Structure 1
Amino acid sequence: MARLRLAFACGDYDRTRALYEGTVQPDGIDLTYLRLPVEETFFRMMRHREFEVAELSLSSYVMSLDLDPPPFVALPAYPSRQFRHGGVFVHAGSGIERPEDLRGKVVGTPEWQLTACVWIRGILADRHGVPVDSVEYRTGGQETPGRVEKSPVDLGGCVRIAPIPDGATLSGMLADGSIDALHSPRVPSSFRPGGPVRRLFADPVAAEKEYFAATGIFPIMHVVVVRRDVHERHPWVAQSLTKALHLAKRAALSDLYDSSALRFSLPWLVPAVEEARALMGEDYWSYGLAANAETLSTFLRYHHEQGLSRRRYAPEELFAPEAVEEFVI
């Protein structure tokens, strides 16, 4: 029987590299790994459904569940996770010294539906006294003019939000004080030592460690999705791909802790791994539903509260049923 040929569009990650190199192969699948920038993958998958399997923004995926029928089913594998306290930038002359000073300010965000920005707004509301509707928002390109939302967003008037002027960029507006702050997954080019832009949290790593200690949450940014028509024809691919993603991640984390020759160009890589394990547990980059139920539930609450999903989904509604059953590798 011929192996099923599938294209998988995903970023360049250590935790998926074994799939790219072919040292881990999904059972029954001939996988073509397309190593693409995440913005390109998301755009092509959301607009044109070009790939059978793809990395996708968690926020975009949850928004897609409101469609009839939903175009994708997700696997409980998370190629991108990241704390986001370091993604809040402020203009030095804005008068913002503490998170609560953001109330009443004008804040830029590349897109309202970006997963990183959903997390930032939720964390600021939950833990720092900055309700989502206490801020006025501006959307647009961070470094290049003309960016628009990849998916339509209807906020129903619950927040004050408007696009930035034609030809402007969020990075430039932050630098000249036209906006007071920026929520972004990327560091703006206007952030330079001694310049007019600084981080809200002066020590974001300390803030993120404190956040994890208090909540146990390591924010999930992206999931892996299978196009629904593929899953309906071949439901077994969900388990096969999930197993392969687990094996690829396991290989990467093992290589990360090899002290004989550092895998990446970081001089204190091994102590950093040891610290992460001590603070967050041995499987600090966990896959699966059970280990991430609280993280997913928190995000799904933020997503619904911020007007991005029609109802508050439950974590177990996100994934292909074949992919959430526990198995031993």
Structure 2
Amino acid sequence: MSRPSLPTVRLGLRDWDHLVPLMSGRVRVPGFDIRIDAREITPNVLAEPGLDGGETSFSRYVQARAAGDDRLVGLPAFVMRGFRHRCVLVRTDSPLRSLDQLAGARIGLTGWPDSGNTWTRALIRAAGVDLSGITWRVGPLAAGETGKERLGDRPLPSNVSAMPEGESLVGELAAGRLDAILTPFMPSEFFTPASRFRHLLDDHPAAERAYWSATGFVPGIHLVTLKKEVVEAHPELPAALLAGLEESKHHWLGRRRLLTDTTPWLLHALTESATLFGQDWMPYGTARNAAMTAAFCEELYAQGIWPDPIDPAAVFPDPFPEPVAPGPSASATAAA
């Protein structure tokens, strides 16, 4: 007698290393056949009929929820998150060394409403800089980059403009027509001895540790979403998938602590991270991300990305059981 087939759930996700156990089938979600389509860039889940869910910009998701658009159900699982102090670049010969010195500057960035750039502008705003006094230019990091919607659906402030076709942030910064750029990813030459660029902050890790001490969170950038009709057909799916994502993350951490020779100093970084953040620097769950979610909603309004205050409770309106990390035995199995 054949066994009944499980419902197939197709997700579009970038191949973050902490998702590999789930992508490879090492970690399974009981009751579902999870199929992950690895993507080069973040998918537009709603625009792809073949997807049941996937990786979604936190900014775009929150704005949709604020507008009453509930076509996507967000899971409090931030598959991309990171400090933003490192994301401000200047030329190596620049006199700029601190965020407050960006007042009145000409700054390029990779996308106006983007989650990461919103968090970076929040740092600049917190340093006492008037964002309306900055000349902002939006464009690709490097020439030839396509496939990204950079301006959003809402009217841009008068001090924000799109770069003409053919221009890039790297080119304009190198030419001196920009004073700084905001980018979540470093240009390729940044990893060469002859790089023309450097971080604005000489010791961005110290600034990031201070940020953690002050806020208690690492900013969330992208989260996992599911289409509403898929959730309505399978109400148990969100909690099951959230638990699977949690298991995948801890399985990955166990393997990473065992196989540390992927970079020369990975063991040091893992040890330092555990000392500072505890066992999980990227927690999943509504309660554990409540402070971060509230801070992000506040920034979207304060920066004029959204015209009205946003109720953080509207971001994850449905209760989720807080995911439970695997116990010692599961961690040991993951590392085996």
Q: TM-score, normalised by structure 2?
A: 0.87
Q: Which moved more, 1:273-282 or 1:144-153?
A: 144-153
Report 1:31-180 matches (<5 A).
31-37=34-40, 39=41, 41-42=42-43, 44-45=44-45, 47-48=47-48, 50-92=50-92, 95-126=95-126, 128-145=127-144, 149=149, 152-155=152-155, 157=157, 160-180=159-179
Structure 2 counterpart of 1:285, from 282, 285, 300: 282
Q: Which residue of 1 aligns with 2:321?
A: 325
1:295 paired to 2:292: yes
1:183 paired to 2:182: yes
- Partner SS for 2:55: strand
1:11 paired to 2:14: yes
How many equivalent residue pairs? Answer: 320
Deviation at 1:133, TM superposition (A): 1.6
1:25 paired to 2:28: yes
Per-residue CA shift, 1:91-110, capped at 9, x if unaligned?
A: 35554232211111110011
C-alpha separation in 1, matches of 2:115 and 2:49: 20
C-alpha separation in 1, matches of 2:55 and 2:62: 13
Alpha-carbon spacing, 1:105–1:76, altered in 2? closer, same or farther (3 Å) = same
- Partner SS for 1:178: coil
Q: Which moved more, 1:135-144 or 1:95-104?
A: 95-104
C-alpha separation in 1, matches of 2:66 and 2:48: 17
Q: Which moved more, 1:86-95 or 1:51-60?
A: 86-95
> Identity percentage over the alignment?
28
1:233 paired to 2:233: yes
- Partner SS for 1:165: coil
Alpha-carbon spacing, 1:150–1:71, altered in 2? closer, same or farther (3 Å) = farther
Q: What letter is aligned with 1:9?
A: G
Q: In 2, are the aligned partners of 1:5 and 1:30 still within 8 Å (CA)? A: yes
C-alpha separation in 2, matches of 1:196 and 1:150: 25
Q: TM-score, normalised by structure 1?
A: 0.89
For structure 1, the 5+ residue unaligned runs are none
Q: In 1, are the aligned partners of 2:125 and 2:131 still within 8 Å (CA)? A: yes
Q: How large is the RMSD of aligned CA atoms in angstroms?
A: 2.3
Q: Which residue of 2 aligns with 1:250?
A: 250
C-alpha separation in 2, matches of 1:281 and 1:290: 17
Per-residue CA shift, 1:18-54, capped at 9, x if unaligned?
A: 11111211121111111112x2x33x32544641020
Q: Which residue of 2 aligns with 1:311?
A: 308
Q: In 1, are the aligned partners of 2:112 and 2:150 still within 8 Å (CA)? A: no
